[in-house]
Amino acid sequence: MMETTTHSPSVYWKTCAALMALLALTWGFGYVNMGPFNLVVALAISISKALLVALFFMHIKGSSRLLHLAATAGVIWLLILFTFTLGDYFSRNFLQPTSNHKVPPEQFHGAP
């Protein structure tokens, strides 16, 4: 099956411009204190940049379903790795005995 051919130059230049704009956004938000949302916003912007590179520079847009699958498989498997491992870490202290002692935020030192 014939895979897609390359795009016109304007598509590439527009993608480049969008990427640079997103980079500026990343930078800008880095100087704003949004607490835990800093990470969410930063990742959202990074994912957008990655999608732009994948769709237009790597020609995923317009390519076969098989290549779409191959492109996403790594990410899906990474999510499996992340989900189960972080699930372990975040559920380790569910049954922490209640105490009056206020612990500082970084009280967990790896394996008990």
Partner 1 sequence: MISATEIDVRTEGQIAPQNYLSDHSERSWLLTTDHKRIGILYLCTIIVFFFIASVAAALMRIELLTPQGDLVTSETYNKLFTIHGVLMVWFFLIPSIPTVLGNFILPLMIGARDVAFPKLNLTSWYIFIVGSAVALWSLFRGGVDTGWTFYTPYSTTYANSHVISMAAGVFIVGFSSIITGMNFMVTIHKMRAPGLTWFRLPLFVWSLYATSLILVLATPVLAITLALMSVERFWGVGIFDPKLGGDPILFQHLFWFYSHPAVYIMILPGMGVISELITCFSRKQVFGYGWIACSSMAIAVLGFMVWGHHMFVSSQSIYAGMIFSILSFLVAVPSGIKVFNWTATMHKGSIHFTTPMLYALGFIGLFTIGGLTGLFLAALSVDVHVTDTYFVVAHFHYIMVGGMVTAFMGGLHYWWPKITGRLYPEIWGKLAALATFLGFNLTFFPQFVMGYLGMPRRYHAYPPEFQVFNVLSTAGASILGVGYLLPFIYFIWSIKRGRAAGPNPWRATGLEWQTPSPPPKHNFIKTPVVTGPPYMYSAEKDADLDLAAI
Partner 2 sequence: MSTAATPFVHEQFEDIEQQRGAAQLGMWIFLATEVLFFGGLFLAYTVYRSLYPQTFAAASHHTEVILGGANTAILLFSSTLMAFAVRAAELRNCKQLVWLLLGTALLGVVFMCVKGFEYHKDFVEHLVPGSHFEWHEANRSHAEIFFWLYFAMTGLHAIHVIVGIFVLLTLAVLARLGKFTAGHHTPVEVAGLYWHFVDIVWIFLFPLMYLAGHR
- State the alpha helices, DSSP H only, in 30-107: 37-52, 65-91
Q: Which among 46, 56, 40 is positioned nearest to 25, based on CA atoms?
A: 46
55 binds partner 2 per the rule CB under 8 A: no
Q: How far is the CB of 32 from partner 1 (least distance, A)?
A: 29
Interatomic CA distance for residues 6 and 11, integer angstroms: 10
Cβ–Cβ under 8 Å, residues 84 and 24: no
- One of 61, 62, 85, 93 touching partner 2 (CB under 8 A): 85
Integer-rounded Cα radius of gyration of the chain? 21
75 binds partner 1 per the rule CB under 8 A: no
79 binds partner 1 per the rule CB under 8 A: no
35 burial level (CB within 10 Å; 0-12, 13-18, 19+): exposed
Interface residues with partner 2 (CB under 8 A) are 1-3, 5-7, 9, 12-13, 15-16, 19-20, 23, 26-27, 29-34, 38, 42-43, 45-46, 49-50, 53-54, 56-58, 63, 66-67, 70-71, 73-75, 77-78, 81-82, 85-86, 89-90, 105-106, 108, 110
Interface residues with partner 1 (CB under 8 A) are 66, 73-74, 77, 80-81, 84-85, 87-89, 91-92, 94-95, 109-112
